[in-house]
Amino acid sequence: MPVEVALAMLERDGTWLLQLRDDITTIVAPGRWGLFGGHLDPGETPQQALRRELREEINWQAGDLPFWFSHTNPQRVAHFFRTTLPVPLEALRLQEGQDMVLATREELLSGRVWSPRLQESRPLAPSLQCAVEALFSSTLIRPLEPHHWPGTWSLLEPIFRAGETFPHDPGISEAEARRVWVDEPQATYVALDPADGVVGTYYLKPNAPSLGAHVANAGYGVAEAARGRGIGSQLCRHSQQQAQRLGYRAMQFNLVVSTNDAGLHCWRANGFQIVGTLPGAFRHRCFGDVDAYVLFKQLAGF
């Protein structure tokens, strides 16, 4: 079972607080720059664990710690929180690790940061690289406005027509697609790229009425030319944040096609678990009847 950790992306005046991990080969990412935080103790929520770790590591009593996103790999589930650091570096006391610095955007994007104590530059830990990618992506995610629809339809139409991931009629009309994607959901967002326009989109709505309305459902689409750039993960993380803001306590995907390898990898990397298999539930245009999965993630406690 993956280990859960909680990590803090703390910003002060356009710089971000980093911890240089010890050169101990038995720990994760030895000798690399990472974020302050650590493992969850039994019974702790990620936010409770992070508050404890910040007290233990830098002698700082954190205020509000807004949840940012989660990332999962086979070894661990990392819950990232992002907020400002209201005190100067000198007010903190390093109690774990070799060094701490406030790193600039340029340093973070370079992949190496200078250590004043060691007088040398060190690389970033994988978890920090993940946070940097999320922090500095050029893609802007914002609520869909009427003028975004033509670009959104251009993105969605080939996905509908393919009949490989969406359960709707591949011959769906533009008007029906707009009803499904924009009119009926509670909220719809688009990912905008300065050069390519609309490169991704998602919607949020209750997964069920009334007594099941505290669980969100979502649908996602990424432009074919923009795939492989992590936009799906950005949309997934953003949708979890917005779902929490709207009062949802969990998210559920009802029909994830088993042949959708990219989607399954993305959702599982962002903390979703397969909780059920529906044998032959999707009529794939190429492969015939294939299995589909139900995916679920709790959002409460962050």
Task: Read off the pLDDT of residues 114-156 as tens digits, 9 standing for 90 and up.
Answer: 999 999 999 999 999 989 988 888 788 999 999 999 999 999 9
Average pLDDT over residues 3-7: 95
**Hey, CA dihedral for 105, 108, 112, 118, is it positive or negative?**
positive
Question: Rounded CA gap, 9 and 23, in Å?
Answer: 22
Q: Name the packing angle between helices 231-245 and 261-269 (round to 10°).
A: 50
Q: Please give the domain boundaries of the chain with CATH numbers for all domains.
A: 3-135 (3.90.79.10), 140-298 (3.40.630.30)
Average pLDDT over residues 53-75: 90
Over residues 31-52, the pLDDT tens digits come to 999 999 999 999 999 999 999 9
Rounded percentage of the chain residues whose pLDDT exceeds 90: 82
Rounded percentage of the chain residues whose pLDDT exceeds 70: 99
User: Encoding tokens for residue 205?
Assistant: 């709505």
Average pLDDT over residues 78-104: 96
Over residues 236-264, the pLDDT tens digits come to 989 998 999 899 999 999 999 999 999 99
Q: What global pTM score does this model have?
A: 0.66
| pLDDT of amino acid 300 | 62
Q: Which residues pair with 140 in a beta bridge?
A: 192
Question: Rounded CA gap, 248 and 240, in Å?
Answer: 9
| pLDDT of amino acid 302 | 43
| pLDDT of amino acid 92 | 98
| pLDDT of amino acid 192 | 92
Kindly tell me if the per-residue pLDDT of 20 is higher than 60: yes
Kindly tell me if the per-residue pLDDT of 8 is higher than 50: yes
Per DSSP, 236 falls in state H
User: Encoding tokens for residue 136?
Assistant: 């500095």
